[in-house]
């Protein structure tokens, strides 16, 4: 008996046998048909990620400055520009919340974006109100964590609900 394989099948078999990653990928269960697509590639959400990452970079620099020089303060001009950018980011987060609400999809992300939108001005105000180096450190740390969360909740792939197995 003679077995005839097409070039494509032969290539697939040779790749499967030669690369363990191919075999591991093939062994993964297929994505659920009703799994929500990630919104990270959509223009609004990628803009949120970009802006939040940039603001976190600024906050990280401020944290480093404060760590090396405890009496260090942000200039009023720099803080004013930062505050305007942070308020703009909060508005984009709320816009993302409203878009997801209108779609009726991704309940967790929708709620998280609303919370971040409401928390950004609070955290920025805490930085402005911090009177001591210790208070500034805490306020900047909390703002950095919030900005990082803003990036991570958008860029993380949607996960299934642990109890129902249904993607959220």
* Domain contains 98: yes
Number of structural domains the chain divides into: 1
Note the pLDDT of residue 106.
Answer: 58
In the predicted model, is pLDDT for residue 37 greater than 80? Answer: no
Mean per-residue pLDDT, 132-158? 95
Per-residue confidence at 14, pLDDT binned at 50, 70, 90? low
Note the pLDDT of residue 93.
Answer: 97
Note the pLDDT of residue 28.
Answer: 46
Note the pLDDT of residue 19.
Answer: 46
* Domain contains 24: no
* Domain contains 146: yes
Greater confidence (72 vs 24) lies with 72
Greater confidence (160 vs 139) lies with 139
pLDDT mean across residues, the chain: 82
* Domain contains 121: yes
**DSSP-derived secondary structure for 104-141:** T--HHHHHHHHHHHHHHHHHHHHHHH--SHHHHHHHHH
* Domain contains 13: no
- CATH number at 141 reads 1.20.120
For the whole model, what pTM was predicted? 0.74
Mean per-residue pLDDT, 20-42? 59
Q: Which two tokens stand for residue 154?
A: 């958008």
* Domain contains 105: yes
* Domain contains 82: yes
Distance between CA atoms of residues 34 and 163, nearest Å:
16
Per-residue confidence at 154, pLDDT binned at 50, 70, 90? very high
Q: Which domain holds residue 68?
A: 43-155
* Domain contains 58: yes
In the predicted model, is pLDDT for residue 45 greater than 80? Answer: yes
Note the pLDDT of residue 34.
Answer: 54
């Amino acid at each position: 008996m003679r077995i005839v394989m097409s070039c494509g099948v032969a290539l697939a078999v040779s790749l499967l046998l030669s690369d363990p990653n191919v075999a591991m990928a093939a062994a993964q269960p297929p994505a659920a048909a009703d799994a929500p697509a990630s919104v990270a590639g959509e223009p609004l959400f990628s803009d949120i990620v970009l802006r939040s990452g940039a603001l976190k970079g600024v906050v990280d620099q401020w944290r480093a400055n404060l760590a090396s020089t405890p009496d260090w303060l942000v200039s009023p001009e720099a803080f004013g520009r930062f505050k305007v950018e942070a308020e703009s980011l909060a508005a984009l987060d709320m816009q993302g919340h409203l878009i997801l609400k209108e779609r009726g999809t991704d309940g967790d992300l929708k709620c998280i974006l609303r919370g971040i939108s409401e928390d950004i001005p609070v955290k920025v105000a805490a930085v402005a109100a911090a009177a001591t180096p210790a208070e500034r450190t805490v306020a900047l740390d909390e703002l950095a964590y919030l900005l990082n969360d803003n990036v991570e909740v958008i860029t993380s792939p949607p996960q299934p609900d642990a109890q129902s197995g249904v993607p959220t």
